[in-house]
């Protein structure tokens, strides 16, 4: 296996770096690298800059308006954007519902929604999880009753990420109670401005408003906004989750946080010397770095499968498990490096321009909040326990 980048890939990396240097503002990069609170406009401003170059959907084929990049180019792009402090691409549209539209959407749906996802005109959110229907998603109860050329939708969704900013929601609803629970689910695209939709914030343990509960009370949705066949939504939902779990690996972000961890370990001292000189702590850093390298190779394998129009299958569950565990390990090690200074959570530190005392407070004041926030990564998009069940069944045949 040749693990070296080709001259063409190296030239592409230079092109990406030049673009980022020119179009990513220093103020926005500082917010991302400093773990500051990002606004809707922060995300959209970077999305629009990418769209102007035709790069807002790195994984899309050229036929749908994407750059048609190879798996290696996608990897390089994500790696360079993360390292530079660019906001993440708005994944719910670009990397989750868009692949479903490409694979299963009608020409009319593709023609309407895909260009608006590319431009950033439509911000999407996810309507999967319900109270009591998280890991057992097929038990969902949100009901959609057909009346002529519309569905009337009633129910509740929860842990809805950034739904308070969204224009549209892709939503799983129950259209039949006959047969197995997976057989009565349909996949609807719902305009968030439709009467009857109420979005209520859920406060997380770090005090941030990132997720919501969404109530649907007699919400009228055109049948034309259904993806594929009625009662076949479970097929489309699984397809989407495969793409989501690949993205959740967040390889570029973890590589950036590993670099930050090493920097902190050189600055912070224990027994009068930098913590990086403690052999046991260096072992822990080396262990997570090796895991991260293995994750990178696995991500490249999956990207290659997708580029060849092959379903990566249960290997995406491996990415979900290892990616989320590495993210958690990095925040744990950063907390350990900072010691007592990491104990106090300072929400004000998430605002750009905040300056705290004593030394280095602008960085470490947000560390505990990130630690709290990363506890969720092993739960959402199918808990890691569920992913291990998938692996044991589909890979090991147990």
For residue 253, pLDDT over 80 is answered with yes
Neighbouring-strand partners of residue 155? 216
pTM, 2 dp: 0.88
CA atoms within 13 A on the CB side of 262: 10
Give me the mean pLDDT over the 285-304 stretch. 88
Calculate the average pLDDT of the chain: 89
The pLDDT of residue 1 is 46
The class that CATH gives domain 124-232 is: mainly beta
289/219 Cα distance (integer angstroms): 48
**Tokens (6 digits) for 86:** 């660019």
For residue 390, pLDDT over 90 is answered with no
Among residues 150, 193, 195, the alpha carbon closest in space to that of 173 is found at: 150
The pLDDT of residue 116 is 98
For residue 15, pLDDT over 80 is answered with yes
Assign 238 a pLDDT band (cuts: 50, 70, 90).
confident
Where does 169-250 have alpha helices with state H? 233-248
Assign 245 a pLDDT band (cuts: 50, 70, 90).
low
The pLDDT of residue 362 is 61
Q: Are 145 and 136 in contact (CB under 8 A)?
A: no
For domain 249-394, the CATH architecture is Up-down Bundle (1.20)
For 295-306, the pLDDT digits (tens) are 988 888 777 776
Element (H, E) at 303: helix 279-307
More confident residue, 43 or 180: 43
**Tokens (6 digits) for 82:** 């993360």
% of the chain beyond a pLDDT of 70: 93
Assign 3 a pLDDT band (cuts: 50, 70, 90).
low
Catalytic residue among 79, 80, 213, 244: 244
Give me the mean pLDDT over the 186-193 stretch. 98
Backbone angle region of 321, left / alpha / beta, with phi > 0 → left and psi within -120 to 50 → alpha:
alpha
The pLDDT of residue 356 is 62
Let me know if 244 is a catalytic residue.
yes
The pLDDT of residue 71 is 83
The pLDDT of residue 22 is 97
Give the DSSP letter of residue 277: G
Among residues 127, 161, 189, 181, the alpha carbon closest in space to that of 248 is found at: 161
343/191 Cα distance (integer angstroms): 42
The pLDDT of residue 196 is 98
% of the chain beyond a pLDDT of 90: 59
For 54-98, the pLDDT digits (tens) are 999 998 999 999 999 988 898 899 999 999 999 999 889 999 999
Q: List the single range of 35-44, 107-116, 194-203, 364-373 with lowest mean pLDDT.
A: 364-373
Neighbouring-strand partners of residue 160? 212
317/178 Cα distance (integer angstroms): 29
**Tokens (6 digits) for 74:** 């996608």
The pLDDT of residue 34 is 86
Distances (CA, A) of 383 to 39, 237, 324, 386, 394: 28, 16, 10, 5, 17
CATH 2.40.110.10 in the chain, residues? 124-232
CATH 1.20.140.10 in the chain, residues? 249-394
């Amino acid at each position: 296996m040749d693990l070296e980048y080709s001259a063409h890939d190296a030239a592409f990396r230079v092109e990406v770096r030049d673009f980022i240097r020119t179009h990513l503002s220093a103020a926005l990069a500082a917010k991302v690298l400093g773990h500051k609170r990002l606004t809707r406009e922060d995300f959209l401003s970077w999305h629009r800059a990418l769209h102007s170059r035709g790069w807002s959907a790195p994984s899309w084929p050229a036929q749908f308006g994407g750059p048609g990049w190879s798996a290696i180019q996608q990897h390089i792009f994500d790696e360079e954007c993360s390292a530079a402090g660019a906001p993440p691409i708005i994944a719910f549209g670009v990397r989750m519902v868009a692949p479903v539209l490409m694979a299963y959407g009608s020409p009319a749906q593709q023609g309407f929604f895909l260009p608006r996802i590319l431009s950033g005109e439509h911000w999407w959110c996810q309507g999967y999880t319900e109270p009591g229907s998280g890991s057992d998603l097929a038990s969902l109860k949100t009901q959609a009753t057909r009346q002529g050329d519309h569905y009337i939708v009633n129910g509740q969704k929860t842990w809805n990420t950034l739904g308070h900013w969204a224009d549209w929601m892709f939503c799983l609803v129950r259209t039949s109670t006959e047969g197995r629970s997976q057989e009565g689910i349909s996949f609807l695209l719902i305009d968030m401005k439709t009467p009857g939709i109420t979005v209520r914030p859920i406060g997380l343990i770090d005090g941030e408003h990132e997720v919501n509960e969404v109530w649907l009370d007699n919400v009228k949705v055109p049948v034309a906004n259904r993806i594929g066949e009625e009662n076949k939504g479970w097929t489309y939902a699984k397809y989407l989750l495969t793409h989501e779990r690949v993205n959740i690996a967040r390889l570029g972000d973890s590589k950036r946080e590993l670099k930050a961890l090493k920097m902190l370990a050189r600055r912070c001292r224990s027994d009068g010397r930098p913590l990086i000189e403690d052999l046991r702590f260096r072992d822990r850093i080396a262990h997570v770095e090796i895991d991260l390298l293995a994750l990178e190779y696995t991500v490249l394998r999956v990207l290659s499968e997708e580029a060849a129009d092959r379903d990566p299958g249960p290997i995406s569950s491996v990415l979900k498990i290892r990616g989320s565990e590495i993210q958690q390990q990095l925040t744990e090690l950063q907390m350990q490096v900072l010691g007592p200074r990491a104990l106090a959570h300072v929400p004000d530190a998430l605002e750009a321009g905040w300056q705290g005392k004593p030394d280095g407070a602008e960085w470490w004041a947000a560390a505990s909040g990130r630690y709290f926030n990363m506890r969720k990564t092993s739960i959402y998009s199918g808990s890691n326990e569920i992913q291990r069940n998938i692996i044991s069944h589909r890979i090991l045949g147990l």
